[in-house]
């Protein structure tokens, strides 16, 4: 990138002499050498002409009337352009004093009179070329300085023999060294380094100087006002012929922003970003530590599980931003309560703050150690409940909320982290059930339901391997044409002793037992294989809907699984629809939405299941990656008897239309319901009226009967 726009061709020379003859000779000679010439007959005219014509070089006589050459040269040097223009002074006085004065006035070079006009052309050409080289160098230095400023990177060099330290402007700035700092040296630089980092930096420099070992070291620099800057310093030795270091050459780069980001990432791995409380991982780690400590010293540790009552209402009525703010305030109050409390000495010896944690949503955990008795624990719980019950001032609104707390104490209620948390959760659940805004201690009976499930859980583990799980298919019918456009795949469990178990019973067990991911993959794979089979039979392309549980959205892994299954079957993504319930969508919203967006990105459609039972806020729908809304069957059931349900159903349909969403009605059992839905513009229906869910072979038969005998090409997937 070379900028030579300022260079003129031919170059213009300003010749200044009070002798007309000399000007004439100069003009002829310079013009013959290919230059253009302007003339001035004294110093005053020279300065004026310089300003007007902007010559590339000035030939300047010293002795002239009015203003002499020295003064003219000084004036030329004052202007920005004049500072860089070569000036060749001509004088009849060949004494040292005049030469010195000429250079002091800023002359580039000096020529004694009489001037040898035959060679002046060569001389001028040489001076111009030199000036161009200097000009290039200046520009390149400017560019380098600019690049260093942008990269926040400076360079330095240390001449070992002369002990001379040089550094770029940016390097000085990075170390907070202004121009007033006096002479630059390695010591001046090291003085700026944070006292704890100075030793390692000095050692690295010294090793590099003595042994030639390159180094890179991160260190902090003290800036005015107590601020710190993080720098990455690196250097290498420059050796002489024998390989001994004669100089060090290095750079320093500002990495403050990167360091800050790294710290934030490290922090977020163990903390909740919203409230900055410990997250589940850190809490579990510290609780484990506290339990080990308590075991050795025969002490107790208590876990308090706090859940806000009806928190969802705040999000629904005041919006998520206020909801977030609210959670932060709750976190603050909780921290204060625990800090005030005298019995909370140390869950963990190194950090009292870590006793409080947010587990996500509106769930908080507190761990307390060295508690004397349950009365004391009850007092802490009550103190927390009282603190929560005081109104919160949020965005100009007074918000009142209650919380429910469940308490589990080690070792009686569990000796490890998981069982303590689980039992505190069960106690919290019980507190909510009995009356909100209270606390409850864990009792063995609370876990009876899960105990009952234990057998089912162990059976379910085997069921996956023993092919006891299967799918039933329920047709989805387009209201306009009465055509079957797809099927919903519904899981069934053929239990060897208990018979057919419905999904409402075993899906929650699978979720609790961590079996939902393999179960979900089984459903997905079976459903896709069924579509593939139908295609191979020559039946037209159908869309299959698969239900996904909220647990499957915990990680982004779902996208990989779906992609893999589609590829392996193989089935086109356009043949797959996923159903997710409204409440599942609202849990862990961020990840869920991101996963759904990815699924939609590959061509899969998304249906919002059981719509109307959860948040019922159509305004949320705008931001969500959803194609179809499925009106919950509870509304459809009472369409003809409950005017409210009829009104809600009509409203859902019309709102969905304005949002460009398709609407499916679930659980349609009667002709009247169907007529109502059709009249209001519902797109599809599903229900016993048309067909209950049925085994795969029945569904195949139905498709064969309904669809034209003409086999289709099968090119769709």
Residue 375 vs 504, nearer CB to ligand C2E: 504
Residue 403 vs 548, nearer CB to ligand C2E: 548
Residue 29 vs 549, nearer CB to ligand C2E: 549
Q: Which helix (H) or strand (E) holds 489?
A: strand 484-495
Q: What is the CA radius of gyration of the chain?
A: 42
Residue 170 vs 610, nearer CB to Mg ion: 610
> Closest approach of Cβ 317 to ligand C2E, in Å?
27
Query: What count of other Cβ atoms lies within 10 Å of the Cβ of residue 412?
Result: 13
Q: Are 652 and 621 in contact (CB under 8 A)?
A: no
Closest C-alpha among 542, 527, 460 to residue 707:
542
Residue located via tokens 């030939």: 59
Please tell me whether residue 179 adopts helix, strand or coil conformation.
Answer: helix
Q: How far apart are CA 560 and CA 494, in angstroms?
A: 29
Q: Which of 197, 610, 645, 684 binds ligand C2E (CB under 6 A)?
A: 610
User: Which residues between 656 and 675 bind ligand C2E (CB under 6 A)?
Assistant: 666-669
Residue 230 vs 549, nearer CB to Mg ion: 549
Residue located via tokens 């007074």: 398
What single DSSP character describes residue 553?
G
Task: Determine if 633 is a binding residue for ligand C2E (CB under 6 A).
Answer: yes
User: Which residues between 519 and 548 bind Mg ion (CB under 5 A)?
Assistant: 547
> Closest approach of Cβ 669 to Mg ion, in Å?
14
Region of 45-53, 236-244, 356-364, 501-509 interacting with ligand C2E (CB under 6 A): 501-509
Residue 364 vs 611, nearer CB to Mg ion: 611
Residue closest to ligand C2E (Cβ): 687
Residue 370 vs 549, nearer CB to ligand C2E: 549
Per-residue binding string, Mg ion, 69-88, x by CB under 5 A, is --------------------
Q: How far apart are CA 16 and CA 61, in angstroms?
A: 6
Per-residue binding string, ligand C2E, 533-572, x by CB under 6 A, is --------------xxx-----------------------
Residue located via tokens 């009967």: 705
Q: Which of 430, 609, 645, 683 binds ligand C2E (CB under 6 A)?
A: 609
User: Judging by DSSP bridges, how do beta strands 694-695 and 469-478 pair with one another?
Assistant: antiparallel
Structure tokens at 162: 């002369």
Residue 358 vs 633, nearer CB to ligand C2E: 633
Q: Which of 69, 323, 414, 503 binds ligand C2E (CB under 6 A)?
A: 503
Q: Which of 97, 342, 375, 504 binds ligand C2E (CB under 6 A)?
A: 504
Task: Determine if 592 is a binding residue for ligand C2E (CB under 6 A).
Answer: no
> Closest approach of Cβ 315 to ligand C2E, in Å?
23
What single DSSP character describes residue 223?
-
Nearby residues of 4 by Cβ (< 8 Å), 6 or more positions away: none
Q: How far apart are CA 412 and CA 324, in angstroms?
A: 36
Structure tokens at 522: 């089984």
Nearby residues of 572 by Cβ (< 8 Å), 6 or more positions away: 541, 566, 603, 716, 717
Nearby residues of 442 by Cβ (< 8 Å), 6 or more positions away: 406, 407, 408, 409, 413, 423, 424, 426, 427
Partners of 399 in the β-ladder? 392
> Closest approach of Cβ 537 to Mg ion, in Å?
25
> Closest approach of Cβ 681 to ligand C2E, in Å?
20
Q: How far apart are CA 153 and CA 142, in angstroms?
A: 14
Task: Determine if 267 is a binding residue for ligand C2E (CB under 6 A).
Answer: no
Residue 114 vs 518, nearer CB to ligand C2E: 518
Q: How far apart are CA 217 and CA 231, in angstroms?
A: 8
Q: Are 326 and 332 in contact (CB under 8 A)?
A: no
> Closest approach of Cβ 621 to Mg ion, in Å?
16
Residue 441 vs 553, nearer CB to ligand C2E: 553
Phi and psi of 86, rounded to 5°? -65, 135
Residue located via tokens 């100087």: 209
> Closest approach of Cβ 540 to ligand C2E, in Å?
23
Q: For Mg ion, how many residues bind (rule: CB under 5 A)?
A: 5
Among Mg ion, ligand C2E, none, residue 490 binds (CB under 5-8 Å by kind)? ligand C2E
Task: Determine if 507 is a binding residue for ligand C2E (CB under 6 A).
Answer: yes
Region of 37-45, 145-153, 277-285, 500-508 interacting with ligand C2E (CB under 6 A): 500-508
Residue 17 vs 577, nearer CB to Mg ion: 577
Helices 516-536 and 557-568: crossing angle in degrees, nearest 10, is 30
Residue 41 vs 579, nearer CB to Mg ion: 579
Per-residue binding string, Mg ion, 591-610, x by CB under 5 A, is ------------------xx
Q: How far apart are CA 260 and CA 250, in angstroms?
A: 24
> Closest approach of Cβ 666 to Mg ion, in Å?
5
Residue 272 vs 610, nearer CB to ligand C2E: 610
Residue 187 vs 671, nearer CB to ligand C2E: 671
Helices 311-318 and 320-340: crossing angle in degrees, nearest 10, is 140
User: Which residues between 684 and 703 bind ligand C2E (CB under 6 A)?
Assistant: 686-688, 693
Q: How far apart are CA 310 and CA 316, in angstroms?
A: 10
User: Which residues between 471 and 510 bind Mg ion (CB under 5 A)?
Assistant: none
Q: Are 548 and 584 in contact (CB under 8 A)?
A: yes
Q: Which of 17, 362, 425, 579 binds Mg ion (CB under 5 A)?
A: 579
Among ligand C2E, Mg ion, none, residue 502 binds (CB under 5-8 Å by kind)? ligand C2E
Which pairs count as long-range contacts for 710-714, CB under 8 Å and 24+ apart, including other chains? 711/538, 712/538, 712/539, 712/540, 712/541, 714/535, 714/536, 714/538
User: Which residues between 382 and 441 bind ligand C2E (CB under 6 A)?
Assistant: none
Burial class (CB in 10 A: 0-12, 13-18, 19+), 190: middle
> Closest approach of Cβ 345 to Mg ion, in Å?
51
Return residues touching ligand C2E (CB under 6 A).
474, 490-491, 502-504, 507, 523, 547-549, 579, 609-610, 633, 666-669, 686-688, 693
Return residues touching Mg ion (CB under 5 A).
547, 579, 609-610, 666
């Amino acid at each position: 990138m070379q900028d030579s726009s300022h260079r003129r061709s031919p170059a213009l020379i300003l010749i200044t002499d009070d002798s007309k003859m000399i000007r004439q000779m100069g003009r002829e000679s310079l013009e013959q050498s290919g230059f253009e010439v302007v003339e001035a007959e004294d110093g005053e005219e020279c300065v004026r002409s310089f300003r007007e014509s902007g010559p590339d070089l000035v030939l300047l006589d010293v002795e002239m009337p009015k203003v002499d050459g020295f003064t003219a040269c000084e004036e030329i040097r004052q202007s920005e352009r004049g500072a860089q223009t070569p000036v060749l002074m001509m004088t009849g006085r060949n004494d040292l004093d005049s030469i010195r004065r000429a250079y002091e006035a800023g002359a580039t070079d000096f020529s004694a009179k009489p001037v040898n006009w035959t060679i002046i052309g060569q001389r001028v050409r040489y001076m111009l070329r030199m000036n161009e080289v200097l000009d290039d160098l200046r520009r390149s230095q400017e560019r380098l300085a600019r690049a260093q400023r942008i990269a926040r990177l400076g360079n330095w060099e240390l001449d070992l023999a002369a002990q001379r330290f040089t550094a770029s402007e940016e390097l000085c700035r990075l170390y907070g060294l202004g121009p007033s700092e006096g002479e630059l040296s390695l010591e001046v630089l090291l003085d700026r380094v944070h006292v704890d980092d100075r030793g390692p930096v000095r050692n690295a420099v010294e090793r590099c100087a003595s042994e030639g070992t390159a180094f890179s070291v991160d260190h902090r620099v003290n800036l005015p006002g107590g601020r710190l800057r993080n720098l990455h310093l690196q250097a290498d030795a420059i050796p002489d012929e024998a390989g001994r270091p004669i100089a060090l050459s290095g750079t320093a780069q500002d990495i403050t922003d990167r360091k800050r980001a790294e710290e934030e990432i490290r922090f977020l791995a163990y903390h909740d970003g919203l409230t900055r409380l410990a997250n589940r991982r850190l809490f579990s780690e510290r609780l484990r530590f506290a339990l080990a400590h308590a075991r050795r010293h025969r002490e107790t540790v208590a876990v308090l599980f706090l859940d806000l009552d009806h928190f969802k209402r705040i999000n629904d009525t005041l919006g998520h931003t206020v909801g977030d703010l609210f959670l932060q305030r709750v976190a603050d109050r909780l921290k204060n309560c625990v800090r005030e409390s005298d019995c909370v000495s140390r869950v963990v010896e190194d950090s009292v703050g870590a006793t409080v944690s947010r587990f996500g949503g509106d769930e908080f955990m507190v761990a307390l150690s060295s508690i004397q008795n349950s009365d004391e624990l009850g007092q802490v719980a009550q103190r927390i409940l009282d603190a929560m019950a005081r109104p919160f001032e949020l965005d100009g609104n007074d918000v009142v909320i209650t919380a429910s707390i469940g308490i589990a104490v080690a070792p009686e209620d569990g000796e490890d982290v998981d069982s303590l948390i689980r039992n505190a959760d069960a106690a919290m659940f019980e507190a909510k059930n009995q009356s909100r805004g209270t606390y409850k201690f864990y009792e063995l009976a609370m876990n009876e339901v899960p105990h009952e499930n234990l057998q089912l859980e162990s059976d379910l583990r085997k069921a996956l391997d023993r092919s006891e799980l299967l799918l039933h298919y329920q047709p989805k019918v387009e209201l306009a044409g009465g055509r079957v456009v797809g099927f919903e795949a519904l899981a069934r469990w053929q239990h060897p002793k208990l018979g057919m178990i419905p999904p409402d019973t075993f899906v929650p067990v699978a979720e609790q037992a961590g079996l939902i991911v393999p179960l979900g993959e089984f459903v997905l794979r079976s459903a896709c294989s069924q579509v593939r089979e139908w295609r191979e039979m020559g039946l037209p392309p159908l869309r299959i809907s698969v239900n996904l549980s909220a647990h499957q959205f915990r990680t982004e892994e779902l996208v990989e699984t779906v992609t893999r299954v589609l590829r392996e079957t193989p089935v086109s993504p356009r043949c797959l629809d996923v159903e997710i319930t409204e409440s599942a969508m609202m849990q862990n919203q961020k990840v869920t939405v991101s996963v759904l967006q990815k699924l939609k990105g590959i061509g899969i459609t998304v249906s919002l299941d059981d719509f109307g039972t959860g948040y019922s806020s159509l305004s949320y729908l705008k931001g969500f990656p959803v194609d179809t809304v499925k009106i919950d069957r509870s509304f459809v059931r009472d369409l003809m008897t409950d005017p409210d349900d009829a009104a809600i159903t009509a409203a859902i349909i019309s709102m969905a239309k304005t949002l460009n969403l398709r609407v499916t009605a679930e659980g349609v059992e009667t002709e009247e319901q169907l007529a109502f839905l059709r009249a209001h513009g519902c797109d599809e229906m599903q229900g016993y009226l048309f067909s209950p869910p049925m085994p795969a072979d029945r569904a195949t038969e139905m498709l064969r009967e309904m669809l034209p005998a003409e086999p289709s090409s099968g090119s769709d997937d």
